[in-house]
Amino acid sequence: KPQLVASNDRFCRFLEEYCPVVTETYYPTIWCWEGRVQTLLRPFITSRPQVQYRNELIKTADGGQISLDWFDNNDSLYYPDASTRPTVLLLPGLTGTSKESYILHMIHQSETLGYRCVVFNNRGIAGEDLLTPRTYCAANTEDLEAVIHHVHSLHPSAPFMAAGVSMGGMLLLNYLGKTGRDTPLMAAAIFSAGWNVFESVESLEKPLNWLLFNYYLTTCLQSSISRHRQMLEKLFDMDLVMKARTVREFDKQFTSVMFGYPTIDDYYEDASPCRKLKSVGIPVLCLNSVDDVFSPGHAIPVETAKQNANVALVLTSCGGHIGFLEGIWPRKCTYMDRVFKQFVQAVFEHGNKIFSM
């Protein structure tokens, strides 16, 4: 059974009644239960539901642009009125976009419930041009704030919540820690967030993890900016950035410099959501597996979570990073998908029972 960590008895009872999956035994797929195997195989095993997006480019205050992919769900039987149709903002991982299989599954789950979704693609990642020499990072929440304000202004009467995966979850937590209760979001769901960046990069630099994940992730980061080389060369030594062989080296030469941090340690400290968890002011459900090499179990802030009545952690012993595969042939629905579906539905349809906490 997963470990449910929550100091608020009312929040616990709410989850047990309306999101019972968090108290059910999670049986990982028996032939790939180990965390690294789950992490590696999920993108290849899980299906990719067909989703038709409507793209929108919005301008930012500094002259940049952000690509949003909307799933309007205009055929919604439960919420035919678009002005009050519940909206879920989805934040993909580090180099992820609206095309990731885990995002497509979240949209498929939302579609069956009648909800609208919008995917926040980080700058320069989804095929759009960079208009300024700036991309994104886990600590800077300005673009996310702009997106949340924009989506809410389009549908001010619609119930509104967000879900973030991996770095998307870190960014969302950092935003919530900064804004407290001052947000139009009703609640948030966080999946496989890296709670302490120092611990995450140290775990990823162990020899086997470097071979399986770190080097590949670094090349993905380099690939995501190489298309914008001409724009970024105005500020960076791109030859040096392209020589990075670890995420830490990439962040040292590129990310921390771009966002004005004196050192990489200053950036990693600011990017670590564990330092802002106590300030979160709306109900948040966070799912992690303790065998996730991207977010090691010992770095999950269990004691801090117990000090905030708005926070609930769901910790499984297996599942890896955005894995959570279950069943003999785990093609369609993962444990993470079920947690997402039940929690989103609980918030939109029974949320008044926790908002008086």
Catalytic residues: 166, 292, 321
Q: How far is CA 65 from CA 88, 123, 326, 352, in A?
A: 21, 7, 39, 36
Tokens matching residue 144: 């996310």
Using alpha carbons, list the distances in angstroms from residue 324 to 113, 271, 340: 22, 25, 12
Question: d(Cα 314, Cα 189) in Å, to the nearest integer?
Answer: 11
Please state, in angstroms and rounded to a whole number, the distance separating the CA atoms of residues 71 and 111: 9
Q: Report the C-alpha gap between 275 and 288 in whole angstroms.
A: 17
Q: How far is CA 158 from the centre of its chain?
A: 22
Which residue(s) pair with 58 in the sheet? 66
Torsion of CA 206, 211, 214, 218, to 10 degrees: 140
**How many CB atoms sit inside 10 A of residue 169's CB?**
31
Which residues are CB-neighbours of 124 under 8 A, at least 6 positions away? Answer: 130, 135, 136, 224, 225, 227, 228
Q: Which residues make Cβ contacts (< 8 Å) with residue 357, sequence separation at least 6? A: 8, 10, 11, 283, 309, 310
Alpha-carbon gap, residue 91 to 68, rounded angstroms: 10
92 neighbors 165 (Cβ within 8 angstroms)? yes
Give the pair of three-digit tokens for residue 286. Answer: 């966070």
AA identity, residue 130: L
Strands 160-165 and 87-91: parallel
